[in-house]
């Protein structure tokens, strides 16, 4: 095919993305670096001295780390279980995991408002059982955010890991066992190392997703802010465009650092070289 055609086919899409995504992003980052016409990192210095912002950043990172760890701890055993199912049953269970993934995040976060609220399911059950007397405040706390985010991202890590675990040659495990390794040793020395690249990919998806999630923290976090809701608040409620642009830049930088580091780690730990 002639080069000319090639560029003709790619040009409309590229032009569209450049105009409406790349240029606005560059302008946004650029706008944070100039004040009264001179170059400055002032706004970032201000942010990282501000205890309110550091608190928000801390909550966001804590919630994201907790969500990622929980997703892996819960997701890995289940993915392992799924990967060993007969195809038909596996198909049904996978479909049941994918369904929530395609369902609106508003719907899914809302369901936790019903469950975790003051008159919600959890409190009602605990009170009826006589375990507590006064309803617990779970909704509108970081804990509620973590529960909602784990619910949001668990399917993602499940399907990523099932894909990876399926590709592991189970003859290797059988070979190890026939050579005298126990089931657990074979699992630890073969299945886990071979699934590390998949675990890392899954972790990137969950971590970055939690770090930048808006809906779940907005509905379940109450007054507790995360970076995404803080960005929205600065832009829409406070009309502080400079601050909002700086938060947007910080979010992008953190996202790219995380993706970069984890990709490096994935390459390093890839046992297939």
Site residues for other proteins, 39-78, by CB under 8 A, read 74, 77-78
Q: Does 155 bind other proteins (CB under 8 A)?
A: yes
Shortest Å, Cβ 127 to other proteins: 14
Residue 98: CB atoms within 10 A of its CB come to 14
Q: Which residues contact 117 (CB under 8 A, 6 or more apart)?
A: 123, 139
Q: Which of 14, 175, 257, 267: binder of other proteins (CB under 8 A)?
A: 14
Shortest Å, Cβ 86 to other proteins: 8
Alpha helices in 35-181 (DSSP H): 42-47, 51-83, 87-102, 105-116, 121-128, 142-166, 170-178
Residue with the two structure tokens 């590390």: 196
Residue 247: CB atoms within 10 A of its CB come to 25
In the complex with other proteins, which residue's Cβ is closer, 13 or 273?
A: 13
Q: Which residues contact 81 (CB under 8 A, 6 or more apart)?
A: none
In the complex with other proteins, which residue's Cβ is closer, 51 or 115?
A: 115
Q: Does 263 bind other proteins (CB under 8 A)?
A: no
Shortest Å, Cβ 85 to other proteins: 9
What residues from 198 to 257 belong to the interface with other proteins (CB under 8 A)?
201, 208, 211-212, 214-215, 218-219, 228, 231-232, 235-236, 241, 244-245, 248, 251-252, 255-256
**Per-residue contact track with other proteins, 88 to 127, x per CB under 8 A?**
---x-xxxxxxxxxxxxxxxx-xxxxxx---xxx--x---
Q: How many residues are recorded in the chain? A: 273
Shortest Å, Cβ 89 to other proteins: 11
CA angle (267, 271, 273) in 5-degree steps: 60
- How many residues sit close enough to other proteins to count as binding (CB under 8 A)? 87
Say if residue 47 is exposed, middle or buried (CB neighbours under 10 Å; 0-12, 13-18, 19+).
middle
Shortest Å, Cβ 261 to other proteins: 14
Q: Does 166 bind other proteins (CB under 8 A)?
A: yes
CB 112 within 8 A of CB 151: yes
In the complex with other proteins, which residue's Cβ is closer, 49 or 103?
A: 103
Q: Can you read off the two tokens belonging to residue 106?
A: 């508003």
Choices 2-10, 39-47, 56-64, 131-139; region in contact with other proteins by CB under 8 A: 2-10
- Among candidate residues 136, 142, 143, the one with its CA nearest the CA of residue 122: 136
In the complex with other proteins, which residue's Cβ is closer, 49 or 217?
A: 217
Shortest Å, Cβ 23 to other proteins: 7
Residue 42 to residues 49, 52, 249: CA-CA distances in angstroms?
11, 17, 14
Rg of the chain over Cα atoms, rounded to whole angstroms, equals: 23
In the complex with other proteins, which residue's Cβ is closer, 124 or 143?
A: 124
Shortest Å, Cβ 81 to other proteins: 5
Shortest Å, Cβ 79 to other proteins: 9
Residue with the two structure tokens 């953190």: 254
């Amino acid at each position: 095919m002639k080069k000319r055609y090639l560029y003709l086919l790619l040009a409309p899409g590229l032009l569209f993305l450049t105009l409406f995504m790349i240029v606005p992003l560059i302008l946004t980052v650029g706008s944070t670096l100039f004040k009264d016409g001179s170059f400055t990192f002032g706004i970032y210095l201000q942010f990282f001295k501000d205890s309110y912002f550091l608190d928000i950043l801390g909550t966001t990172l804590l919630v994201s780390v907790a969500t990622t760890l929980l997703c892996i701890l819960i997701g890995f055993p289940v993915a392992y279980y799924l990967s060993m199912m007969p195809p038909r049953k596996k198909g049904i269970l996978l479909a049941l995991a994918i369904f929530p993934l395609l369902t609106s995040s508003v719907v899914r976060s809302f369901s936790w408002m019903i469950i975790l609220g003051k008159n919600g399911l959890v409190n009602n059950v605990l009170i009826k059982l006589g375990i507590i007397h006064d309803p617990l405040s779970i909704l509108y706390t970081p804990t509620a955010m973590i529960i909602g985010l784990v619910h949001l991202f668990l399917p993602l890590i499940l399907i990523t890991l099932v894909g990876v675990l399926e590709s592991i040659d189970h003859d290797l495990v059988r070979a190890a066992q026939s050579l005298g390794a126990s089931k657990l040793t074979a699992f630890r020395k073969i299945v886990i190392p071979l699934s590390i690249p998949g675990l890392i990919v899954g972790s990137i998806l969950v971590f970055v997703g939690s770090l930048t999630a808006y809906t779940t923290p907005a509905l379940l976090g109450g007054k507790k802010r995360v970076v995404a809701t803080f960005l929205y608040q600065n832009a829409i409620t406070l009309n502080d465009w400079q601050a909002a642009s700086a938060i947007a830049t910080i979010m992008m930088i953190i996202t790219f650092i995380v993706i970069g580091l984890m990709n490096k780690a994935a390459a390093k730990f890839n046992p297939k070289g």
